[in-house]
Homo-oligomer: A and B are copies of this chain.
Amino acid sequence: MYGPGDVRVEDVPDAKLHEPTDAVVRVVLACVCGSDLHPYRSMLATGDGVPMGHEFIGVVEEVGAAVTGLAPGDFVVSPFAFSDNTCEFCREGFHTSCVHGGWYGVGGVGGAQAEAVRVPQAAGTLVKLPADVDEALWPSLLTLSDVYLTGWHAAHMARVAPGRTVTVIGDGAVGLSAVLASKRMGAERIILMGRHTDRTDLGREFGATDVVAARGEEGVAAVLALTGGAGSHVVLEAVGHLPAYEQAYGVLRPGGTISRVGVPQYEQAPVGFGSLFRKNATLNGGPAPVRAYIERALPDVLEGRIDPGRVFDRTVDLDHVADAYQAMDSRHALKVVVRP
């Protein structure tokens, strides 16, 4: 990506091992992330371009000398951030703060919207998948790279559990994933705030019990009415813009939790007596340490209890990645698979 709306497909040098802890993985499926739309809309143009894509499943082609537990031919899923899985922050479940961790497309590491990608800290990062898995499950396995487990992270941080009322703000792929994760955690009442009927319909299939199309004050009033005036125990904010944040504390019940997984496109926001403090609100969330959750979610996908891959509604090849961005930006597609 070279600037807003400027996505180019280019030949680059083949991915190869740089460090003994690296692996090279041939990408089987990748995809475009809602967070990729932020630079697509507003990045500063750059002459060098930025490699894009951070979600993929693939086949290991080569491993460095220090990589244990992986061999060429292994079918794997990668979290959207790499990590050693052994440092003190990883051990506490916060792999996105790994002391040896980092991000695809940054600092000499390539992007996953590509034929192959170098994976740093491969032993800690990659999780093996069954070799013989049905291709129909590939899209759902791909969601373990980011989108489903980002929704899971939101719900996990907010301690979603039976008896909790959950409001999800945003009907994008992360919001819908947060609905599915909340349902999987036992939430009985899940209110989805979103305006796109095709998306909220999928949200209902994922477990949403109520849909609120209104936004702002009107949307807040609607959620309060649905909760007998008390508000929602949990709000999962999957947008990242300030109005969604304001909506979040508006619908929150005293003592409740706002968990954010939409990357905030703001730095300052209300946190004082008029917003969070008076209510004893909890605010949390952040970049999802999906590595912490993959092993737990994998059986749910392999055994068919959940089908998070339904968030994908289009597939492109590498030559048409620019179309994928355009389709998602214009909301003609919810989330697009890239199949090299």
**Residues of A participating in the B interface, judged by any CB pair closer than 8 Å:** 88-89, 92-94, 96-97, 157, 230, 253-255, 260, 263-264, 266-287, 289
Residues of B within 8 A of A284 (CB): 276, 280-283
Q: Are A280 and B272 in contact (CB under 8 A)?
A: no
Q: Are B272 and A266 in contact (CB under 8 A)?
A: yes
- Residue pairs across A and B with Cβ atoms less than 8 A apart, 20 shown, are A88-B230, A89-B230, A89-B254, A97-B280, A157-B282, A260-B277, A264-B277, A267-B271, A267-B273, A267-B274, A268-B272, A269-B271, A269-B272, A271-B283, A277-B287, A278-B286, A278-B287, A280-B287, A281-B284, A281-B286
Q: Are B287 and A255 in contact (CB under 8 A)?
A: no
Interface contacts beyond A93-B255, A267-B274: sample of 4 additional A-B pairs, CB < 8 Å, sorted by A: A96-B254, A157-B282, A268-B268, A271-B283
Minimal beta-carbon separation of A103 from chain B (angstroms): 11
> Which interface residue of A89, A230, A267, A275 has the most chain B CB atoms within 10 A?
A267
Residues of B within 8 A of A92 (CB): 254-255
Residue on B with the closest CB to A261? B277
Minimal beta-carbon separation of A266 from chain B (angstroms): 6
Residues of B within 8 A of A278 (CB): 97, 286-287
Q: Are B273 and A271 in contact (CB under 8 A)?
A: no
> Which interface residue of A157, A263, A272, A289 has the most chain B CB atoms within 10 A?
A272
Contact of A94 among B157, B254, B263, B287 (CB under 8 A): B254
Given contacts A94-B280, A282-B282, contact A267 B260 (CB under 8 A): no
Q: Are A270 and B267 in contact (CB under 8 A)?
A: yes
Give the distance in Å from the alpha carbon of A254 to the alpha carbon of B89 in the complex: 7
Residues of B within 8 A of A272 (CB): 264, 266-269
Residues of B within 8 A of A255 (CB): 89, 92-94, 97
Residue on B with the closest CB to A271? B269
- 5 closest A-B pairs by CB: A97-B254, A280-B286, A267-B272, A94-B255, A282-B284
Residue on B with the closest CB to A283? B283
Minimal beta-carbon separation of A209 from chain B (angstroms): 20
Residues of B within 8 A of A97 (CB): 254-255, 278-280
Residues of B within 8 A of A157 (CB): 280, 282
Minimal beta-carbon separation of A193 from chain B (angstroms): 20
Give the distance in Å from the alpha carbon of A278 to the alpha carbon of B254 in the complex: 26
Q: Are A283 and B287 in contact (CB under 8 A)?
A: no
Q: Are A280 and B230 in contact (CB under 8 A)?
A: no
Minimal beta-carbon separation of A164 from chain B (angstroms): 11
